[in-house]
Amino acid sequence: MSQLFGTDGVRARINTGAMTAENIIRLALAAGKYFLGQRGDTSDGRPPLVVIGKDTRLSGYMVEAALQAGFASIGMDTRLIGPLPTPGVAYLTRTLRADFGVMISASHNPHYDNGIKLFGPDGYKLPDEVEAEIAGIMAGHIPLAEPERLGRARRMLDGVGRYVEYVKTVIPRSMRFDGLKVVIDCANGAGYRAAPDVLFELGAEVIPMAIAPDGFNINADCGAVHPEAMAAAVVEHGADIGISLDGDADRLIMADEGGNTIDGDQCLAVIADQMQGAGELAGQTVVGTLMTNHGLAGWLDGKGMTLERTRVGDRYILERMREAGFNLGGEPSGHILMTDHGTSGDGLMAALRMLAALKVSGNKASEALRRFTAFPQCIINISCEDHSIISAALDHKALTDAVSEAEASLGNDGRVVIRPSGTEPLIRVMVEARDQTAMDKTARSIAGVVEGLVSA
């Protein structure tokens, strides 16, 4: 895959690299040219259309304007949705019958980063080969539209309302959450309007947090990356459950009534149990990643279900799900994919399924929403801005020998995963082991080898 695209679209610090206005316009031209070429004779004369949504970063205005300029200049109409969760943009791309969709977001990253995610007309993220083709088009000549064929732009005012109604379809129409007190942390991000509205409309007593975006406070000490704020609020308010979304609301972390966090793996277990009980779990299989906790794998096996692992990134989970016909997958970070209901990870939709499980159980969240004992897991991040140094370190014999030695020592009671981050300039060292002392010692040892290689 081209260096332009990572595991979740294009992402960089704003006004650097791919996130300069010039390069954003160039990306819009290239993506527009690619999708115009896909139209063939099936457009029935309708103007080409692209849907653009965003989160709440200040830089979103600049990125949106640059994209709009690029699309207009190549002859594409745009529908500007404004702040809306990533799964909402995927949904509207399909329902508006657009040629493709764009989400402007750097997800869980700080405000000074931004990114661009592209969706095909079916609402799914683009495969690697299509992203590579678009990157190749950027490097060549891109003819612009004649003056009479320039694109038009219109703002869409009811995008949030459409998404709210769509999200509610994930639970039975008769299901309500009356009697549940719910803390909802919206990360000052794209879900700041939709998430509290959905919970309120379904009857919950809602305690909203981080719903005052100012362009700079997205993900700042709040949201799924910092769930401790939400967890503390659950205890403070005597709530039944807490929900944390990230900046673009496609991931979910929860907390029980005691303020103990419930990660994506526990969410997967609960939803898998629901789906298996209803006869809805395709292939009796859940798709996870290299980072999925071994405790979940064992629990699924005991219930007659199987865990399949992919590379880290929800796009790779989704590719495997589509390839094999599976309908449930996710990551510990809280991306939960339910392809019977949507084409993208949806933190709010997953939260509704979890609340439904809690309501039906009649028990406390600590009992109803925690299905397995997780293996202790340690993740150490080593920063390195140079991609070539990261690649060299990952292939270095000193590191491969250290990993082999660690895996031999841990045996069946642990795992080691070393990988580059797909969204940040980091090497991630993950060690999982039944024995926490062995885990900590192994993680520190391997991290020391990595630090030595990237600083040499």
Query: Catalytic amino acids?
Result: 107
What distances in angstroms separate CA 429 from CA 7, 102, 126, 214, 421, one per listed residue? 18, 32, 28, 34, 10
- In the block, tokens 């794209």 appear at 190
Query: Which is it for strands 252-255 and 241-245: parallel, antiparallel or unpaired?
Result: antiparallel
What distances in angstroms separate CA 49 from CA 14, 69, 93, 156, one per listed residue? 26, 14, 9, 13
CA distance 223 to 209: 9
Contact 326, 232 (CB under 8 A): no
**Would you tell me how many other CB atoms lie within 10 Å of the CB of residue 153?**
17
Can you say whether the dihedral through the CA atoms of 110, 237, 170, 260 is positive or negative?
A: positive
As beta bridge partners, residue 417 has 430
Tokens of 275: 């789906």
Contact 195, 88 (CB under 8 A): no
Of 29, 35, 4, 3, nearest to 18 by C-alpha is: 4
DSSP string, 291-314: TS-HHHHHHHHHTT-EEEEESSSH
What is the SS3 assignment for 338? Answer: coil
- How far the first Cα of the chain sits from its last, in Å, is 28
Contact 353, 368 (CB under 8 A): no
